[in-house]
Structure 1
Amino acid sequence: MDDHLPEALRAVEDELAALLRRGRALSWEVAREVHPNLEPNAYGLLLWLRRSGSIRLTDLATRLGVGKGTLSRQIAGLEGLGLVRRDPDPTDRRAAQLSLTEEGTRRFDAARAARLGQIRRTMKNWPKRDVEDFARLLHRFNETF
């Protein structure tokens, strides 16, 4: 990217700040929909578990870029809320497979449906191509950030 775009970069920074501010507020709201005692940053963890079905703690820690100890503490909290379970890994008795419980899946899916409804309402007048471009560019940004 050319260095002669300082105004465009400042505009990106401003819009990212607004998006992050709204995202934090939404994270609190969605987390409370999943469970009243759920920490807001746990929604992303539940999303990964929902997508994976079942995943080893070490693999999830690598994907999320967090330490195993930190992730293990977060998982323990989610287990205590009845949202996540650890099962022995059939291929390695030292490892555990993580997955959502039935209750965790039910609660997550309900909260996610509400969140997707908000996004759908926000973007309802956008052309399909704009929504696709927005998703593609956000993905590209997140992959390279």
Structure 2
Amino acid sequence: MDEQQPEILRAVEHEVTALLRRGRVISWEIARGVHPDLEPNAYGLLLWLRRCDSIRLTDLAARLGIGKGTLSRQIQGLEGLGLVRRDPDPTDRRASLLRLTEEGQHRFDAARSARLGQFREKLDNWSERDVTEFAKLLRRFNEGLG
């Protein structure tokens, strides 16, 4: 990017900051929709578990870029809320597979449906092409973050 355009970078910084700030508020709301005692960061864990069906803790930690100890504590909290369970890994007796409980799936799906409804409402007057391009650019930006 041309170094002559710092105002464009400042505009990007402003919009990303606004998005992150709003995202934190939305994360609190969506987490409370899943369970009143759920931490906002945990929604992302539930999202990955819903996508994967089941996954080892070490693999999930690697995908999320967080330490196993930190993730283990977060998973224990989700287990305590009855949202996640550990099943024995059939390929390795020393390991276990994480997955959502039926209650976890039900609560997650209901909260996600509400969240997607909010997105649908906000993007309703956008063309399908614009929404597709927006998703593509967000993915590209996120992948560039590491």
TM range (shorter): over 0.9
Tell me the equivalent position of 1:28: 28
Q: CA deviation at 1:81?
A: 0.1
> What secondary structure does 2:61 align onto?
helix
Q: CA deviation at 1:89?
A: 0.6
**Deviation sequence 1:23-78 (CA, Å, 0-9, x none):** 00000000000000000000000000000000010000000001111101100000
Q: CA deviation at 1:126?
A: 0.3
Q: Alignment identity in percent? A: 75
Q: CA deviation at 1:4?
A: 1.8
Alignment partners' CA distance in 2, 1:110 and 1:92? 33
Tell me the equivalent position of 2:15: 15
Tell me the equivalent position of 1:86: 86
Q: CA deviation at 1:2?
A: 1.9
**Deviation sequence 1:68-105 (CA, Å, 0-9, x none):** 11101100000000000001111111111000000000
**Deviation sequence 1:94-132 (CA, Å, 0-9, x none):** 111000000000000000000000000000000111100
* Letter of the 1:8 counterpart: I
Tell me the equivalent position of 1:44: 44
* Letter of the 1:66 counterpart: I
Tell me the equivalent position of 1:125: 125
Q: CA deviation at 1:5?
A: 1.7
Runs of 4+ residues deviating >2 angstroms:
none
Q: TM-score, normalised by structure 1?
A: 0.99
Tell me the equivalent position of 2:141: 141
> What secondary structure does 2:32 align onto?
helix
Tell me the equivalent position of 1:54: 54
Equivalent residue pairs, number: 145
Alignment partners' CA distance in 2, 1:130 and 1:8? 20
Alignment partners' CA distance in 2, 1:105 and 1:4? 50
Tell me the equivalent position of 1:4: 4
Tell me the equivalent position of 2:102: 102
> What secondary structure does 1:40 align onto?
coil
Q: TM-score, normalised by structure 2?
A: 0.98
